[in-house]
Each structure stands twice: as structure tokens, then as C-alpha cells.
Structure 1
Amino acid sequence: MRAASPGPSALFVPSSSSSQPLTTTAPPPVSAARARSEARRKYTYAAFFLVVSLVSFTVQTELASHIQHDLGWNKAYCMMYLTHGSWTLLWPAQLAVLRFSSPRRRRGQSWGRFWEGHVRTLRGIALLVETRGGVNGQRGLLEYGHSPLPYLVRTTVGVTMALTVAGLSWYIAVSMTTPSDLTAIYNCSAFFAYAFSVPLLKERLRTDKMVAVAVAIAGVLVVAYGDSAEGGEPSATGGTADAPDTSTRFAGNLIIGLGSVLYGLYEVLYKRFACPPDGTDANKGVIFANTFGSLMGAFTLLVLWIPLPILHVMGWETFELPTGQTAWLLFISVIMNMLFTGSFLVLISLTSPVLSSVASLLTIFIVAIADWLWTGTPLSPAAIFGGLLISAAFGMLSWSTWREMNEEERKKQVDLSDDED
């Protein structure tokens, strides 16, 4: 995780229930106990959203596979459009939670007052994101009545397009290459997330982090290629799949390789341009992550519908609304994807793209276990060993991140002591 911005330089914004004006002065230095308490709260939130993301992704993956392969509704782009578009609901859902989660605290508060405080909070966090935590820049923008909306629009377009192209590469390559190649190459995004974090997030090259990422990718390779099954290419859970011809497989690997790079870039771009700086209150990080997720969903709904009629006319993907059981299961899958995305964005905001990316690799092992429980097909030795490697890598990276956090806290206290002297 990159070095945190000093606490005294952070802009304080009110909670969504406050009616006080936005403070533009730097807050007083916090005590060591309070800094440790805030760090524990941040990582407690991160652990909770990690569990939510893993569970929701597993359910979404199993349902999507059942819908496409068993129920025959194989509409890849339409499914992606619906799932990504569902992110629009993240902010309204969050707004409802903020409004009704603490009735005693908000008793007697009118909707207008609550809305005014919430908008002021979002504007303050957005200015914090735009100015990278610079107090002087924030004061100037506030004095001139600057709106962060243009910045948010530009950032939303850039980050969403990187994610969309990365997602499309997976859907295109899935029929061109083997399941093992698809799994191994796409999940190398953890490496690219770390590579992009160095120049964009000023991440330090740390041996323990590089080893953890390497172990995670090794685990993916073991899962993908560890078993040789007769009659086909090994899949992630030890099954087989018909191998495409060499030229098609090579083209598919190039496409999914591009998707892997772009997915790693998407995670880092989001952290760099759409997250409050490290050291910001954890609640504000959660609030803004879900808000930005809604902006990405809105851009998807408003713009990315355009390929749907083109695909229909060209005959590449005939538009057809699901019905019956397919529609019901698709609805659940879409909701699960929305939960996963909201949780994953919060996880990146509170920790780092590298830790979040390696954490997402845990879903490979969890989905394999779910397949075992669902179909009765036992896990292959490679799936078990690879899953254990990925789990070990996540543990290593979590410990490294925790150590980094403690180092940053000690540095803060030294800086504060120097200031007092």
C-alpha cells in the first residue's frame, strides 16, 4: 500500500447527517492510539468486504455458468451490460442505508437536511480526490465554488472503458483458447496491478510483495496446467475441454493477455484517480467507492448499450430477453455481481490494488470447491495445491500490508513529535 498522506493535510468533511459547514482547515494531529484505532477499523471494514466479495463472486460465477451452458441463454455482451449496468444501484442502496441505519441519530431530521449534508459530504470527498489531498488546492476550489463533476465524468469514462475492454476480452477469448490458458493469463492481472502501482501510485518495490505476487501467479499456473487429462485440455477444476486449433488459440491468448494488462491497469487507475488519499476516514472511503461504482454503472447504461443493436444486426449475438427460470436466475446473478463490484471497489479503496487483486484470486479456489459441492466432481490435486499456494500468497501479502501500515503509523508519530519540538 502506498504511503499515506499526512493526517494534518487531509480535508475534513461532515458525515451525511451533519448540517455544519464544510471545514477547510487542517485537522489537529491525532494521537497514536487514535491512529491505530482508525487503522484497525479500516482493516476490519476491508476484511468484511473481502468476505462479501468472495461469496458474491462465487454465487455469481456459478449462476452465470448455469445460465449460459445449462439453460442456453448464451448472450455474453448482454449479460455483461446488465451486470455492469446494475452498479448504478450501488449509490441509491447506500443512500437508503445511510438514511435509515441509525434512526436515533437522525430522528427528526428532514429529508432535505439529510440530502444537503450527503451532497456536501460527496462534494468534499470528490474535491479531496481531485486535489490528491492538498489542503490549499481544496480551499481554492471551495472558494471559487468549483464543481468536481467534470473531473468525475472524465475519470468515470477512462476507468470504465479500461474495465469494459478488459471484460470483453474475456468473453471474446473464451471460445478461442483453452480454459487453462484463459484462467492463467487473465489472472496474471495481479502482476500487472503491481507493475502499474510502481509508477502511478509510487509504490515501493518490496521483496515480500514481489514474492507474494509470484507465489499467487504460480498457484494460478498450477491450477490451470497442473493436471493432464486424457482427451482434452485440463480446466481449472480438473475437467477437460476441447482444444481449439493452434492459430485460434494463439490469437485468443493475445486477446486475453491484453485483457489481463487492462484489468490490472483498471485497478490502479481507480485507486489513483477515484479514491481518497490514504489516511482518509474509512467511512468516507466506503461512501465514495460505492458512489463511483454507481457512476460507472450509469455510464454503462447510457453509453454501452450501443453495441447491442449492432451485434443483433450482424448476427453475432441476437438480442433476446430471458424468461422464466432464466430471468429469475439472471436477476440473482446480476445482484451478486453488484455486491461483488461494490465490495471490491471498497477493498481497493481501503487497501491497495495489489492486495485486492491477489485476494480476488482466492475465488479460483472457492469456485472450484463450489463446483465440487454442486456437481460432486472431486477437486484435482492441482486445484488443491494451487489453491493453497494462492491462499498462502494472500496471507503473505496481508502481513506485508499490515507491516507497511505500522511503519507508516510510526513515521507519522515521529513527524508529529518533530513538529511539536
Structure 2
Amino acid sequence: MSERDGFLEQGGRDSRDHVHDYDTRETSQHRRPSHSFKSETKPDKRYLYAGISLVVSLIAFVAQTETAGYVAHNLQYKKPIFMLYLTHSSWVFLLPLQLLFIKIFKRWKTPWRVFLRRQYELVLNTARATQEHAGDFSGQHPLKYIMVTSFWLFVALSFAGSSWYIAVNLTTPSDLTAIYNCSAFFAYAFSVPMLGESLKPAKVVSVVVAIIGVLIVSYWDTNEGEGEVSYPHRGIGNLIIGVGAILYGLYEVMYKKLACPPNTISPRRQAAFANVVAFCIGLCTLLFLWLLLPILHWTGLEPFELPHGSAAGIMIANIASNAIFSGAFLILMALTSPVIGSVAALLTIFLVAIVDWLLFDTPIGTGGVIGGLIIIGAFIMLSYASFQELGEEAEDSDSDDDII
């Protein structure tokens, strides 16, 4: 890989890249919107990076699920909001780790001061392109725009995540899984008005089939004991998790609409900027979500208690796997679409069942196998339709230069 192909290396570029080198002193009135430029990269590179992100996110999510389940059920450490705070706050490490990786493997001989200045210039340029692509010409500083956007993403994500933890004690596991994973439908529904997503039959069918697969997994082998007697507040729980599914779908589309660079930016640069946004969301979590913890402690809803012993070690693994999953998942959505990201997340239902079977000898029911295969088929169908569109968008590209 050539030196110019390293992550986050736009800052010191020559004038030959002037089309994408935004002047940081330029006013918003004189900026040309980034989304008016032609695509910088062939679609096959986008396929490659999206594929890597998908594989990494699936593996990390399975690890996150298994470690979270072990801590809660085997070690009886059940502090869901505190765990939510720790896992989402861990996103602040993604950007420093990314910079450290670049410095060690790409710019070892570059002085730190010069290196960091280049990274700042790149982030600023990409933030401006993102701001313009989102249609914001208010004149506010691009980094302020990204921070404000990240705050609202943090709000939507925190409410969506909290709804799951609240509803888990009110409704059946089957309802919880089925309703929450309907966020794929809501992601598509929000994508139509907010992203201009076309209502193509192949995509609509793929999303519907995927949700049918989730319903089969959830209800085919359901124990009839899951009823109103065991869950007297099932209706309230379903309502709460339904709101959570809507908010999670909205979060995904908001991220794509407001915080992702346009496709005129190379896949490497889009992937790098996804970690910048993840850092900002993690920072908002670190600064604001802790305010809930004393309230939950004083009200007795979730008494504060630090993990210790083996629970602490496994929680560290859980936090690390969540950070990896979240970074890869944001990259996947940046390179593709919220709809693909949502349906891809459904694959983890089947993967977790397989891992449980291999590691803990937990049998996979008939519904799990049938539903899992249906979800896989729906994802393949959706991916084919979506990447066909991506190829069509890149047909007119006259530049193969990967600027990162």
C-alpha cells in the first residue's frame, strides 16, 4: 500500500488534490457543496471496506452479546444503565487508537506536531464536506456542527438503548427480540423522506422478509408460558420497546443524513471519519449519561455497584467488543446505508444461536434455523440490490484517486 493510501492523510496534500482540499478560511457563502463532485473511488473498493466492516462488526457483536449475557446471568451483575454508560463511553478510545495506528505504521518519522496538525486539517475538511452535504450553510464551525450532531445522535441512541433495558423486565424475550429488531423497517421508513431512498420492490421485499425471519426465530419455538400471567405489564413493555425500535431506526438514518461524508469522499476517508463521529458520541455519553446514575441509585431502580473479580475482567472484554462493533458498524453504514446496516444486524440473531450451541450446547430450535436462513437470504437480496445502485452511482466517475 502506498504512503498516500494511509488513513487520514489529506492535510499536507499538493495542489493536484485541490478539488477536495477545502480552504479552512473560506466562508460558507463561497464554498461549493461537496456532494456536487463526482465519486472519487471505484465501487469495488467500497465493497471491500464494507465487507471487512461487516465481518468485524458481526464477530464483535457476538462477543459483546456473549460477554454481556455471562455477566448478567452467570455472575448476576445486572446494572444495565451503568453498562450502557461504560460501553458507549468507550467509543472515545476509537479516535486516539486510530491516530496511534497511523502514526506507528504510516507516519513513524513524522514529528508529532506536524502529524497532529495534518490530522486536524483532514478532520476539518471532512467535517466541512459533511456539513455541506447535509445542507447546513449556517456558517457555524464544521467541528461545532459535528459535535452538535453527535449530541443528538447520543440522545437518540441512549433512549433507544435504555428502552431495551427497561422493557426486558416487562415483556417476553420473544416480543423483545421481534419488536426491537423491527428497527430495520423503521430505518427504511425514515430513509425514504430523509435520505431520498427509493421504494424499490427488491429492497421492500428484503426488509419485510428479514422481519418475517425475526418473527419466526422469536415465536416458532416460544414456550406458551410466556403470557399475561408471567408478564402482567407486557403491553407497556411492548410499547416501550416499540418506541426504542423507532428511535434506533431514526438514529441510524440521522447518522447517515447528518454525520456521514458524501460518496465523493473515498471509502478510506469515510471510514476514518466514522471513528471521529464515534469519538464525539462517546464523549457526549461520558459527559452527560452519568447524570442518570445517581438518580437511579437514590431511587433504588439501579443501586450503584462496581464490578469486581471475574465480572470486572469480563466487562472489560464486553466494553472492548462493543467499541469494536460500534466503530465497524458506523463505518458499514457510512459506506452503505442504514437499511443494510439494520438488516446486517439481524444476522447476529442466528450467529449468537450458533455460538451458544457450539460453546454451551444450547440447542437451536427449528424456528431458529428456518428464521436464520430466511434472514441470511434477505440480507443477500438487499445487499445485491443496494450494491447495484452503488455501482450505478459510480459509473460516471472519472477519477480513481484514493485521497486518503
1:38–1:281 contact (8 Å) kept in structure 2:
no
- In 2, the alpha carbon distance for the partners of 1:165 and 1:288 equals 24
- In 1, the alpha carbon distance for the partners of 2:351 and 2:229 equals 27
Aligned equivalent of 2:379? 394
- In 2, the alpha carbon distance for the partners of 1:277 and 1:36 equals 10
SS in 2 for 1:332: helix
2:40–2:265 contact (8 Å) kept in structure 1:
no
Aligned equivalent of 1:7? none
Which of 168, 176, 186 pairs up with 1:192?
186
Aligned equivalent of 1:5? none
In the alignment, does 2:327 pair up with 1:342? Answer: yes
Q: Structure 1 residues 132, 24: CA separation in 2 closer, same or farther (over 3 Å shift)?
A: farther
Q: Structure 1 residues 213, 288: CA separation in 2 closer, same or farther (over 3 Å shift)?
A: same
2:349–2:372 contact (8 Å) kept in structure 1:
yes
What TM-score do you get using the length of structure 1 for normalisation? 0.85
In the alignment, does 2:54 pair up with 1:50? Answer: yes
1:22–1:120 contact (8 Å) kept in structure 2:
no
Aligned equivalent of 1:31? none
How many residues align? The count is 377
Aligned equivalent of 1:361? 346
* Cα drift, residue 247 of structure 1: 4.6
- In 2, the alpha carbon distance for the partners of 1:132 and 1:321 equals 43
* Cα drift, residue 246 of structure 1: 5.9
Aligned equivalent of 2:133? 132
- In 2, the alpha carbon distance for the partners of 1:63 and 1:311 equals 24
Report which stretch shifted further, 253-262 or 280-289.
280-289
Q: Structure 1 residues 201, 334: CA separation in 2 closer, same or farther (over 3 Å shift)?
A: same
Q: What 5-or-longer segments of structure 1 have no aligned partner?
A: 1-13, 28-33, 234-241, 417-421
Structure 1 ranges of 4+ moved more than 4 A? 21-25, 34-37, 242-247
- In 1, the alpha carbon distance for the partners of 2:205 and 2:50 equals 22
Letter in 2 for 1:127: R
* Cα drift, residue 405 of structure 1: 1.6
Letter in 1 for 2:12: S
- In 2, the alpha carbon distance for the partners of 1:209 and 1:127 equals 31
Aligned equivalent of 1:148? 142
Letter in 2 for 1:112: R
Q: Deviations over 1:330-375 (max 9, x none)?
A: 0000000000000000000000000011001000000011111122
- In 1, the alpha carbon distance for the partners of 2:310 and 2:57 equals 25
What TM-score do you get using the length of structure 2 for normalisation? 0.88
Q: What 5-or-longer segments of structure 2 have no aligned partner?
A: 1-6, 21-37, 400-404
2:347–2:375 contact (8 Å) kept in structure 1:
yes
Q: Deviations over 1:153-204 (max 9, x none)?
A: 2201111100100000000000100000000000000000000000000111
Superposition RMSD in Å: 2.5
- In 1, the alpha carbon distance for the partners of 2:199 and 2:93 equals 38
- In 1, the alpha carbon distance for the partners of 2:301 and 2:133 equals 44
- In 2, the alpha carbon distance for the partners of 1:319 and 1:406 equals 51
Q: Structure 1 residues 277, 320: CA separation in 2 closer, same or farther (over 3 Å shift)?
A: same
Q: Structure 1 residues 85, 22: CA separation in 2 closer, same or farther (over 3 Å shift)?
A: farther
SS in 2 for 1:317: coil
Superposition pairs of residues 15-414 of structure 1, within 5 angstroms: 15-16=8-9, 18-20=11-13, 25-26=18-19, 38-102=42-106, 106=107, 108-132=109-133, 147-229=141-223, 232-233=225-226, 245=230, 247-410=232-395, 412=396
* Cα drift, residue 400 of structure 1: 0.3
* Cα drift, residue 15 of structure 1: 4.3
Q: Structure 1 residues 209, 330: CA separation in 2 closer, same or farther (over 3 Å shift)?
A: same
Q: Deviations over 1:305-345 (max 9, x none)?
A: 00101111111111111111000000000000000000000
- In 1, the alpha carbon distance for the partners of 2:134 and 2:85 equals 34
Q: Deviations over 1:121-140 (max 9, x none)?
A: 00000000111188xx99x9
Q: Structure 1 residues 297, 123: CA separation in 2 closer, same or farther (over 3 Å shift)?
A: same
Instruction: State percent identity of aligned pairs.
Output: 45
